[in-house]
Amino acid sequence: MATKHSRMSARLMISPAVLLLLGWMLIPLSMTLYFSFLRYNLLMPGMEEFTGLTNYRYFLTDPAFFAALWNTIALVVGVLVVTVIGGILLALLLDQPFFGQGIVRILVIAPFFVMPTVSALVWKNMFMNPVNGLFAHAAKALGLQPFDFLSAAPLGSIIGIVSWQWLPFATLILLTALQSLDQEQLEAAEMDGAPWIKRFFYIMLPHLARAITVVILIQTIFLLSVFAEILVTTNGGPGTASTNLTYLIYMQSLLQFDVGGGSAGGVVAIILANIVAIFLMRMIGKNLDA
């Protein structure tokens, strides 16, 4: 039973947060949109002029854009496949009773807390380096030729590194969801003679569906913006072999100083991210009513 007075003060209390976020969205977004229609290069100050859709035409017909779009999709899908399947299997395992559950849980969750630059550099140097890396040592010990991960399979290697960072997230959320499963339902099915595989597909998986969707959507939002891992490992190369959209736009704006072109790319990235975001928002919105 809110009085008029308390409603007023409530509005007053929300407004700082709302105004700040509104400013944070509207000011840079409108600037990006505005720049995207300009010929604007920081190396040529004072030459700015309106060029209509030229920046978009250049950006969208650049072969690097298609490479980056493909790499972005491959990176997102690759990491999702590894982390969701791995996460389900791991959650099923960790949900079983065993000795030292607490400690194993801590070990599994740890990679999520490692900052992206550290995990990328540790993997790049101490594991994937073709001369001094542990994988190279292991290959030599087995009499195999060491594999130069980041040169021969740059995107695959980055997918591996990012998957290691996100597997704990997927596992933790799926484990949390699994633990809320009604055990009696499972036992009833077991007593009725349903084999393990059937119990998994008909009881566990439907129960997990919601959590899996949440994992996919949230990871997609973050994975579309993978940046640090690429910056410190391959710099997007060789060529554009591991350049994603985020990295391409970064190169165009801050390395080539092409503000107009970078902004056009930014608008494209925002549109793509929004497509994913709409689905995620629906999911969370539904939950808010429940």
Partner 1 sequence: MARSVSTRRKLITTLAAWAIGIAIFFPILWTILTSFKTEAAAIADPPVWFNFHWTLDNYVTVQERSNYFRHFMNSVIISGGSTLLGLIIAVPAAWSMAFVPAKRTKDVLMWMLSTKMLPPVGVLVPIYLLFRDLGLLDTRIGLVIVLTLINLPIIVWMLYTYFKEIPGEILEAARMDGASLRSEIIHVLTPMAIPGMASTVLLNIILAWNEAFWTLNLTAAKAAPLTAFIASYSSPEGLFYAKLSAASTMAIAPILIMGWFSQKQLVRGLTFGAVK
Residues 156-175 interacting with partner 1 (rule: CB under 8 A): 164, 167-169, 172-173
State which of positions 119-138 bind partner 1 (CB under 8 A): 119, 121-127, 132, 134, 137
When binding is defined by CB under 8 A, the residue of 60, 69, 114, 153 that contacts partner 1 is 114
CA angle 267, 272, 274 (to 5 degrees): 95
Name the minimum Å distance from CB 205 to partner 1.
16
CB nearer to partner 1: pick between 78 and 252:
252
- Residue tagged 């077991």 (tokens): 190
Q: Which residues contact 49 (CB under 8 A, 6 or more apart)?
A: 38, 39
Q: Is 107 in the site for partner 1 (CB under 8 A)?
A: yes
Specify the residue, 47 or 270, whose C-beta has the smaller distance to partner 1.
270
Footprint on residues 10-49 left by partner 1 (CB under 8 A):
10-11, 13-14, 16-18, 20-21, 24-25, 27-29, 31-32, 35
Which one of 105, 148, 199, 237 is in contact with partner 1 (CB under 8 A)?
Answer: 105
Draw the binding track, 74-93, toward partner 1 (x: CB under 8 A; -: no contact): ----------------x--x
State which residue, 74 or 92, has the beta carbon closest to partner 1: 92
Q: How many CB atoms lie within 10 A of CB 57?
A: 12
Does the footprint of partner 1 cover residue 191 (CB under 8 A)? no
**Alpha helix stretches (DSSP H) within 45-115:** 54-61, 63-95, 101-109
The verdict on 2 binding partner 1 (CB under 8 A) reads yes
**Two tokens, residue 22:** 């509104």
Binding positions for partner 1, 205-234, rule CB under 8 A: 210-211, 214, 218, 221, 224-225, 227-228, 231-233
* Separation of alpha carbons 251 and 237, rounded Å: 12
Find where tokens 């503000």 sit. 259
Could you say whether residue 117 binds partner 1 (CB under 8 A)?
yes
Please report which residue ranges of the chain form alpha helices under DSSP H.
4-35, 54-61, 63-95, 101-109, 116-122, 134-141, 149-152, 154-179, 183-191, 196-199, 205-223, 228-233, 245-250, 259-289
Minimum distance from residue 124 beta carbon to partner 1 (Å): 8
Number of residues located near partner 1, criterion CB under 8 A: 109
Task: Between 156 and 225, name the residue whose CB sits nearer to partner 1.
Answer: 225
Cα dihedral across residues 250, 54, 72, 285: positive or negative? positive
